[in-house]
Structure 1
């Protein structure tokens, strides 16, 4: 289950790839792909080469993805309703 965090708190400043993977409930490899594609904002590297990404950028990405998912579900519901899948004449299995 994705963990919650407060992107505005002082300890929420910069996050590691592993922390972001936990927050988004995805693999570390996907987070690296998103970071390399610029979808998580500016990426900083530590002296040992580890990526660090601002928590606020992660929260923005997560909010955008949730909005896209809600829109897709709304569209699917409208299509299903338009196809008559919610009418009283639908047989229950």
Structure 2
């Protein structure tokens, strides 16, 4: 109940505000996007699966999310680490 009433709207608001402030000289866009994404990944299994697929398709996005993971701390960073794509092993 708390996630639907407070966390998810806050995460979506953080994503939108981050996207709006990203091109401005204020350094608030990227941290807001990272925070919103981490909260959505922590509260939604469908967003987690979507991010895992996206990271598997794009090495650049995977690298960006990997750099964000340790900066979010233990509680939120662990959810982003769980979206890492599976390692392809050569046979």
Superposition TM-score, scaled by structure 2 size: 0.30
Larger radius of gyration: 1
Higher share of residues assigned strand: 1
